[in-house]
């Protein structure tokens, strides 16, 4: 979790999402957080694996993302680990997403959570679920690519 030259640090990565879904488009969204959540995120205690986003009343809400309670904070001031959190996007981006999610049956999933110049951001993906045969096909392509690289490296 080293900070790069660009001033951003990847706190959490949802690697399983690229296996389960076909990523069509990505967006960067801000997050409405409590103070103890920011402390936990900076410590890297985030799990995006089962997370998804829903659109309600022209607002986008992040569901099922686990941010562990901060260890040194009083229990009274700590947060609920799986509470829904509001995502911050421009109104025109939200309207465009509403159309795509409702018409095409796509879903919104978080790919990465990053710290960018002191702000917590989420890379949100517009995705379509893969079928079993699609997953097998992508694994075959990945394996073939590895074998080709090994062969070129060996010669």
CB atoms within 10 A of CB 100: 14
- Average confidence (pLDDT) over 11-26: 88
Q: Quick check: is 146 in a domain?
A: no
- Average confidence (pLDDT) over 107-115: 92
68, 66, 116: which is closest to 88 by C-alpha?
Answer: 116
The answer to whether residues 60 and 94 touch, using CB atoms and an 8 Å cutoff, is yes
> What's the mean pLDDT when you consider all of the chain?
86
The answer to whether residues 44 and 11 touch, using CB atoms and an 8 Å cutoff, is yes
User: In whole angstroms, what is the distance from residue 62 CA to residue 44 CA?
Assistant: 18
Residue 90 banded pLDDT, cuts 50, 70, 90: very high
Domain count, the chain: 1
**For 40-58, what is each residue's pLDDT tens digit?**
888 888 999 889 999 999 8
Q: What is the pTM of this model?
A: 0.76
DSSP 8-state code for residue 27? E
Q: Quick check: is 144 in a domain?
A: no
- Average confidence (pLDDT) over 27-31: 92
Q: Quick check: is 34 in a domain?
A: yes
Higher pLDDT, 35 or 62: 62
Q: Quick check: is 110 in a domain?
A: yes
- Residue range(s) defining the domain that contains residue 53: 8-130
Strands of the chain (E only): list them: 8-13, 21-31, 46-47, 52-56, 59-63, 66-67, 85-88, 107-116, 119-129
Q: Quick check: is 121 in a domain?
A: yes
User: In whole angstroms, what is the distance from residue 97 CA to residue 48 CA?
Assistant: 20
Three-class DSSP category at 76: coil
Q: Quick check: is 99 in a domain?
A: yes
Strand partners, 110: 124
**CATH number of the domain residue 62 falls in:** 2.40.280.10
Q: Quick check: is 36 in a domain?
A: yes
Q: Report how far apart, in Å, the C-alpha atoms of 122 and of each of 5, 61, 73, 136 are.
A: 19, 12, 24, 29
Q: Quick check: is 154 in a domain?
A: no
88, 106, 147: which is closest to 23 by C-alpha?
Answer: 106
């Amino acid at each position: 979790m080293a900070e790069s030259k660009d001033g951003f640090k990847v706190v959490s990565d949802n690697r399983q999402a690229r296996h389960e879904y076909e990523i069509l488009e990505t967006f960067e969204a801000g997050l409405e957080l409590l103070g103890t959540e920011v402390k936990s995120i900076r410590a890297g205690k985030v799990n995006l694996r089962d997370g998804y986003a829903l659109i309600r009343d022209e607002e986008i809400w992040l569901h099922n993302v686990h941010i562990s309670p901060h260890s040194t904070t009083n229990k009274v001031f700590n947060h609920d680990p799986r509470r829904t959190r509001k995502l911050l996007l421009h109104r025109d981006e939200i309207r465009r997403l509403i159309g795509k999610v409702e018409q095409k049956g796509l879903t919104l999933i978080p790919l990465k959570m990053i710290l960018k110049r002191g702000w917590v951001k989420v890379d949100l993906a517009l995705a379509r679920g893969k079928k079993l045969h699609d997953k097998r096909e992508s694994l075959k392509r990945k394996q073939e690519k590895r074998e080709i690289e090994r062969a070129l490296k060996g010669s």
